[in-house]
Structure 1
Amino acid sequence: MSAGPSGEVEASPAFPVSGRKLDRSAWSWALYQGGRDPYIGLISGFLFAPYFATEVVGDAVKGQAMIAQVGIISGLTVAFAGPVLGATVDLLGPRKPWLGLCTLLVIPLMLSLWFALPGGTLLSPWTVAGILAAIAVLLSCGEVLFSSMLTYAAKPRMQPMASGLALSLGNVTSIALLLFILFAFMLPETPLLGLSKESHEPDRIVPILVAATFALCAIPMFLFSRDAPSVAKKASLKSILGGIKSLIGLVRNAKDNSDAMIYLLARTLAQDAGGVLLVLCGVYAAGVMGWGATEMLVYGLLGCVAGFIGGFAAGWLDEMFGPKVAFQIEIAGSVLGLLGIIGAAPDQILFIHIANPVAIWNGPMFTTAPELVFLLCGFFGFVFQIAAWSSSRTLLTRIAPKSQMGAFFGLAALAGNSTSWLGPLFVGIFTSVFKSQQAGFVPVTILFAAGFFLLFLVKGGGREIDPA
């Protein structure tokens, strides 16, 4: 990557941009997500959440149910706050001041997770769950602000690539952190900085590293990315009430934006079902496959590599088929990967029992066929699920009016968080009733399928792109 004329940054040859360039504003915008996304993979997914469930709570099944409850609480909160926030910033203009506030609040909360000791001896499991819920609310509100900046931070023809790049960068930083954690803290008998494995300090330092990465990667976006233009208003109760009024009008006139409204319903059922999968997949793998911290770290690393590929794949699929069809392809791929995951167990492949599985290679881990199939299906599903996140964001920028982009991304937060609490609720119910983590993911598959078919009713989102 090198600086080009007029302050533009020439795209890396590894990024398929068809001769076009992303400028500094778009790259800086994407880098913000590069710093934020490791929280999803390392804390909500592969490392801290399994540690929380198995060591702080002390029971993988109860821990998964508790994390599902965190999803319910945070999802309901964002379902109310997100749309109002989005509609209000449409009236106020710039997103950066509010995004900066969310960022400044969330980083200390991440740092506080260091005190989540085994058995809840310092912070009780429910206190830790409350911190996780608060972080989830702030990150979700930040997502509304950040995503609605895309139409300003990147030129129209560059928006699919900028969206995909943001997700790819999130996985690049996650891979870098995972490798550092693996070689600095997990593999050595004496971890770096003298951390104690007996006290699970290598697990507890993960949120600190994630918080530091987020802070560093956020800086360029606040310095260089284009924002919505300022308007002659200041934040006040009157502006919030104006945002609520605008939001109500938007919902009342839903017929004028039927494509966007149908999309939001499809996203509710499908895309955030994938969010449930990403949040709980680590706990699921630890509980069902019986993997320890090192295996989970490698599993997370492979998931991040898949996400890196998925971010680039999304840009290509959006250009080839349009974001609507791309989104459907990605949902279908996610379902296939999910079926492979829930059909696996230490003695099972694709729901078929394997008697006494033996090692098929002499590696340090993942030596049996069921483990390797689980890894392959997880990798496949992650590629398509991360791509789906990108295409869903690009699709909304195509079918929603630019003047109401914040409101529509706020409604997307409402739609997404409707699933993010309904999905965990169903997962928790199925897990508790059937006493099985596999059964807990059956409703997620149904939500995916419903969203896939609803997208056929969306008329926009084809290959046509407005001139830059």
Structure 2
Amino acid sequence: PTIGAIADTKGYKKPIFIFFLLLGCICCVLMPTIPGWFGFLVLFIFAKIGMSSSIILNDSMLVDVTEPSRMDMLSTKGYAWGYIGSCVPFIISLLLILKSDSIGLTSSSATMIAFILTAVWWFAFSIPIIKSYEQLSYIEKEKNAIKESFIRIGKFAKNIRHKKKIFLFLLAFFFYIDGVYTIINLATSYGKDVGISDSNLLLALLLTQIVAFPSALIFGKLSSKYKPEQIIKVCIFGYFGITIFALQLDKTWEFWLLAVAVAVFQGAIQAMSRSYYAKIIPKKQASEYFGFYDIFGKGATFFGAMLMGISTQIFSSSRAGVATLALLFPIGYYLLTQSEKADEIVYDETFN
């Protein structure tokens, strides 16, 4: 939120975005060149900071690049192309590493090339943002932008409970995206636990990215007929069904079916959550608000994994962990419904 609050100042968003983009790309290139685990860990942390911060700023740019009526469609297209685009460097890198001997490369050289390719891909497809983005919604420059940013964050934390539409949505987002991210992040671990081979796990993950592309575009088309919160609800139902189905999963074909089902709803729930949130926050403080949005998302990732881990340990079964995970979706659904009922927020200047 601090970085986002500073980036909301006039003329700051793009330079800060470029800084974190370069930080992530440079660290990505350097990671395979550093001997020892500690140096790698430090670079990984900074690369993660660069990635997360640039994504927050990229999300907040949605309020400047289109009108509210087109946000849903644009958000889904962004996720769709992101999914299919990520397959290209992933497949090339995978082939380089697996076939390194046959093409005259050592395993370490192939890994280094894979990291460099990832960084180049990341930077190259960020160039359109650098060239074309203009910050239309902003807060005027102040004498001490950093100090004022902290003051705005304090006001946000103090008053957010009174802005029920935003507050309830963030709570809803925390619970349902908790389930989504935990399913995505722990799918391979659960698959191994029920006997799915490594090769099938890897191919299933790749299939998820490919299927997510057309699925996100289809939901984007549906956004012209249905509200984003309605589509989010459909996705929540979908993920609830996925977790129930996963309870009895023990065959390879069932895992493949599960991967396809996850892909169908994955892009839509992320894209619609982003566009819905962008519509209910003040444009001038979009980066700051998306900073809090990211906190709720990242916190959910930790909470979901912890919840599943504790349940698995107590009952000595990963299926028990999945069953616990299923409970998060009804909670998210209920809170989203309450957010819908809350009064619309009309902004004048800034949130205070």
Secondary structure of the corresponding residue to residue 194 of structure 1: coil
Q: Which residue of 1 aligns with 2:20?
A: 102
Q: 1:412 and 1:298 mapped to 2: Cα distance?
A: 31
Q: Which residue of 2 aligns with 1:399?
A: 280
Alignment equivalent of 2:59, drawn from 118, 136, 147: 147
Secondary structure of the corresponding residue to residue 114 of structure 1: helix
Q: Which residue of 1 aligns with 2:231?
A: 326
Q: TM-score, normalising length from structure 1?
A: 0.65
Q: Which residue of 1 aligns with 2:5?
A: 87
Does the CA-based 8 Å contact 1:269-1:448 persist in structure 2? yes
Say yes or no: does 1:253 pair with 2:159. Answer: yes
Q: Which residue of 2 aligns with 1:307?
A: 212
Q: Which residue of 2 aligns with 1:453?
A: 334
1:260 alignment partner AA: I
Deviation at 1:243, TM superposition (A): 1.6
Alignment of 1:409-424 (within 5 A): 409-424=290-305
Does the CA-based 8 Å contact 1:91-1:231 persist in structure 2? yes
Gaps (5+ residues) in structure 2? 343-352
Does the CA-based 8 Å contact 1:314-1:390 persist in structure 2? no
Larger mean Cα displacement after TM superposition, 386-395 or 107-116: 107-116
Deviation at 1:437, TM superposition (A): 4.3
Does the CA-based 8 Å contact 1:114-1:208 persist in structure 2? no
For residues 450 and 397 of structure 1, do their structure 2 counterparts lie closer, same or farther at Cα, with a shift above 3 Å needed? same
Identity of aligned residues (%): 22
Deviation at 1:429, TM superposition (A): 3.2
Alignment of 1:106-117 (within 5 A): 106-114=24-32
Q: Which residue of 1 aligns with 2:79?
A: 167
Q: Which residue of 2 aligns with 1:444?
A: 325
Deviations 1:88-138 (A, max 9, x none): 32234542111111111112332344369xxxxx533x7655654443333
Q: Which residue of 2 aligns with 1:51?
A: none
Q: 1:399 and 1:268 mapped to 2: Cα distance?
A: 17
Gaps (5+ residues) in structure 1? 1-82, 117-121, 349-369, 462-468
Structure 1 residue ranges, 4+ long, deviating more than 6 angstroms after superposition: none
Q: 2:244 and 2:114 mapped to 1: Cα distance?
A: 30
Does the CA-based 8 Å contact 1:185-1:191 persist in structure 2? no
Q: 1:434 and 1:441 mapped to 2: Cα distance?
A: 11
For residues 101 and 115 of structure 1, do their structure 2 counterparts lie closer, same or farther at Cα, with a shift above 3 Å needed? same
Deviation at 1:225, TM superposition (A): 2.3
For residues 285 and 88 of structure 1, do their structure 2 counterparts lie closer, same or farther at Cα, with a shift above 3 Å needed? same
Secondary structure of the corresponding residue to residue 141 of structure 2: coil
For residues 248 and 93 of structure 1, do their structure 2 counterparts lie closer, same or farther at Cα, with a shift above 3 Å needed? farther
For residues 331 and 177 of structure 1, do their structure 2 counterparts lie closer, same or farther at Cα, with a shift above 3 Å needed? same
Alignment of 1:113-132 (within 5 A): 113-114=31-32, 123-124=36-37, 131-132=43-44
Deviation at 1:451, TM superposition (A): 0.8
Does the CA-based 8 Å contact 2:5-2:287 persist in structure 1? yes
Deviation at 1:444, TM superposition (A): 3.0
Alignment of 1:359-398 (within 5 A): 370-398=251-279
For residues 114 and 442 of structure 1, do their structure 2 counterparts lie closer, same or farther at Cα, with a shift above 3 Å needed? farther
Say yes or no: does 1:262 pair with 2:168. Answer: yes
Does the CA-based 8 Å contact 2:8-2:138 persist in structure 1? no
For residues 296 and 216 of structure 1, do their structure 2 counterparts lie closer, same or farther at Cα, with a shift above 3 Å needed? farther
Q: Which residue of 1 aligns with 2:135?
A: 227
CA RMSD of aligned residues (A): 3.1
2:245 alignment partner AA: G
Secondary structure of the corresponding residue to residue 313 of structure 1: helix
Query: What is the number of residues matched between the two proteins?
Result: 343
